[in-house]
Structures are given as C-alpha cells and as structure tokens.
Structure 1
Amino acid sequence: MTQGVQVAAVYVRDQDEALAFYVDKLGFLVHTDVRNGDYRWLTVQHPDQPSFQLGLLLPGPPVHDEATAQALHAMVAKGAMPALVLEVDDCRAAYERMRALGVEFTQEPVDRYGTVDAGFRDPSGNGWKMIQTRG
C-alpha cells in the first residue's frame, strides 16, 4: 500500500494576499482554487514537487468557529505556528532575490551544520526556514 502526504495547510489572514506571495515571490504554482459558498479551497505547489500541495486556508467556518478562528489568526501573526522549510540550491542567491521582491526576512543567511539557512515570514506571519541543499 502506498501512502504519503498530499496536502499540508497553513492558516493565512487573506487568501489573495497569500496567493500573490507564494506565486509571485516564492515561485509556487496554483494547483486548486475553488469555492463552495463562502469557503475557498486554495492550494499551491512548488514546481519541483508536483505531488505535494500547500493549502492556504482561512481559519473559520466550516472548520472552526469564530472564536477559534480569531485565536488562530493571533497565533499565526505572532509567529507561534511551526516553521515550514523551503529547500533551495543557493540560500544566499535566493535570499537576495526574495529580499528584492519584498520578502520579510527574520534571519539573514548563516553558515551552520554544514549548510546555509535563513528565515522569513509570509504576509500572515507564518515562519519559514530556507535551507540550502547540501552539496
């Protein structure tokens, strides 16, 4: 039996803002963008990983009540959600390119553990680590 993770989600404060960030600044592609009433299922994928999608979801109905949605928004904005990891061939070059596009970095590239890594946030506050592929 084959198993694997197909979609992992991050909570965002605004799906259009998140979509622009992930597509225009990180180079992801839109995979699915459908609506069912007020609910929007929006996923993107990295061009080098076609079998994996990242869901850009709003906390709230139908999954959460309003109080839970507000708490999740606050946690994301404070950077309290787990960090996501983006693997790149050249961390310093990706840092310069993304910084020029307006990405908010929380850590400049640093040499450690035999590689280079940097930290950034999406517009909703979700934390990312960008790690250079070991080579």
Structure 2
Amino acid sequence: MDISIHASFLPHDDPEAAVTFYRDVLGFEVRKDVGYGEMRWITVGPKGQPTSIVLTPPAADPSITEDERRMIAEMMAKGTYAGLVLGAEDLDGVFERLVAAGADVVQEPTDQPYGIRDCAFRDPSGNMLRINQL
C-alpha cells in the first residue's frame, strides 16, 4: 500500500496574519488562497515538498453551534484546539528566526528525555506548533 500525507488542517481566525506568519516567518509558499464570503481557506507548504497545511476558518461547518464556535475560539487562544509537529535541520536557527519575528514562544529548544530536541510556539491563531530537530 502506498499512502502519503497530502494535507493537514489548522484553523485560523485572521487570514492576513496566518499568511504573513506561514509565508514570511516560516518561509512556506502559499499554494492556494480561496475565499467564500468572508471566509478564506489558505493552503501553504514547504517549498519543494508535496505536503500542505490548509488554514481553514474554524466555524465554516454549518453544523457547528454558536456555543461550539465560542469553545473552539477559546481552545484556539490557549493552543489546545489544534497542533502540528514540524521538523528542521537547524532547530536553533529556526528558533532564532521565530523569536526575531515576534512569535509566541512556548518552549525554547530543549533536549527531551524521550530522545528528541525540540521547541514549541503558537501561530497567530493560537495553534501549538512544535519543531523537532531532524
């Protein structure tokens, strides 16, 4: 069986801030930017790699209630709704770049007891992003 990960979804609550962060801070390319009414779905990904992150409006699903929308917004703000683990050859260099760009740092680069070195931060929507040293 030949299966690969094509895309992952992360919510965003500010499309301009999301594009700026993923494009200008992380260096990802914007592959699609699709609007519908006041909502935008933005697909980004590392240059030269086929995997993508779809930045999606969290309340786009019409079956979500107003209470659920509020709960999602609260969880996003705390970084507990969605997350992603990225990898980088130069973890310390990427971390310095994130700090210089004003990223919301949660954890500085650390050697974890389970064998990896990583750091953690939040994107502009509050999503928890971890970066592992490759």
The alignment's TM-score, normalised by the length of structure 1, stands at 0.85
How many Å separate the matches in 2 of 1:46 and 1:40? 20
Q: CA RMSD in A?
A: 1.9
Specify every segment of 5 or more residues in structure 2 that has no aligned partner in the other structure, as ranges: none
- Residue 46 (structure 2) aligns with: 46
Structure 1 segments, 4+ long, off by >6 Å, are none
Contact persistence 2:106–2:120 (CA under 8 A): yes
The alignment's TM-score, normalised by the length of structure 2, stands at 0.86
- Residue 123 (structure 1) aligns with: 124
Report % sequence identity.
36
Look up the equivalent residue of 1:43 and give its one-letter code: T
Contact persistence 1:11–1:73 (CA under 8 A): no
SS state at 1:97 partner? helix
How many Å separate the matches in 2 of 1:115 and 1:4? 23
Look up the equivalent residue of 1:53 and give its one-letter code: S
**Residues 11-50 of structure 1: per-residue CA shift (max 9 Å, x gap):** 111111111111111111001112234442211011142x
Q: Which residues in structure 2 correspond to 1:53-68 (within 5 Å)?
A: 53-65=52-64, 67=66, 68=68
Look up the equivalent residue of 1:102 and give its one-letter code: G
Count of residues in Structure 1 that have an aligned counterpart in Structure 2: 132
Specify every segment of 5 or more residues in structure 1 that has no aligned partner in the other structure, as ranges: none
Contact persistence 1:29–1:47 (CA under 8 A): yes
**Residues 40-94 of structure 1: per-residue CA shift (max 9 Å, x gap):** 2211011142x11101111223455351332211111111124311100111111
Q: Flag the 1:34–1:83 CA change in 2: closer, same or farther, 3 A.
A: closer
